[in-house]
Amino acid sequence: MSTQPGRMLPEVTEESRAFWTGGFEGKLLIHHCTSCGRYFHPPVGACFRCRSRAVEPKAVSGRARVAAYTINHHPWFPAFPPPYAVAIVELEEEPDVRLTTCLVDVDVNSVEVGMTVEVVFDEQDDVALPFFKPVSA
C-alpha cells in the first residue's frame, strides 16, 4: 500500500516498465531508436519517426529544461499540497522528448520557462516517479 493516499500511480506496461522503474537504480530510461538514433516518449514498440522496431530503453542524463508550466492552487491530491508546479520539460539530449511532471524542491514563484532542472525519483510501491528539481548553479 502507498503511504500517501491520493497519489495516482501510473499503470506499468511491458513497454513502459523501464521508464517507471529505472529510478530505483537512479536512471531515467527513455526509449531510444538504434536505427535513427533518436529518443522518443512515451515508450512504445516502434519508433514513431522511422517505424523501426530496433528500440530500447537507454539512460539519459536526467537534465532538462522547463518548456511550459502551470502553478496549481487546488488540492487535487492529498500527496501534493498546493501550490505546486506542474511542468512540461524537454530533455537535454532530445528537446523533442517532453515529459509532463511535477517540479519539487522549488519555490513556485521562481519557476520560469527555460530554467534547467534535473530528475529526482519519488519511489512509490513498484514505481519510481520522475520529478524534476532546479539545478543549483
Using CB under 5 A, list all residues that contact Zn ion.
33, 35-36, 47, 49-50, 52
In the complex, the smallest distance separating the C-beta of residue 46 from Zn ion, rounded to whole angstroms, is 8
In the complex, the smallest distance separating the C-beta of residue 56 from Zn ion, rounded to whole angstroms, is 12
Q: Give a three-class secondary structure readout of the chain.
A: CCCCCCCCCCCCCCCCHHHHHHHHHCCEEEEEECCCCCEECCCCCCCCCCCCCCEEEEEECCEEEEEEEEEECCCCCCCCCCCEEEEEEEECCCCCCEEEEEECCCCHHHCCCCCEEEEEEEEECCEEEEEEEECCC
Cβ closest to Zn ion, residue 78 vs residue 95: 95
In the complex, the smallest distance separating the C-beta of residue 51 from Zn ion, rounded to whole angstroms, is 7
Work out whether strand 98-103 and strand 84-91 pair parallel, antiparallel, or are unpaired.
antiparallel
Cβ closest to Zn ion, residue 52 vs residue 61: 52
In the complex, the smallest distance separating the C-beta of residue 38 from Zn ion, rounded to whole angstroms, is 6
Cβ closest to Zn ion, residue 44 vs residue 50: 50
In the complex, the smallest distance separating the C-beta of residue 44 from Zn ion, rounded to whole angstroms, is 12
Terminal Cα-to-Cα distance of the chain (whole angstroms): 37
Cβ closest to Zn ion, residue 94 vs residue 122: 94
Cβ closest to Zn ion, residue 96 vs residue 105: 96
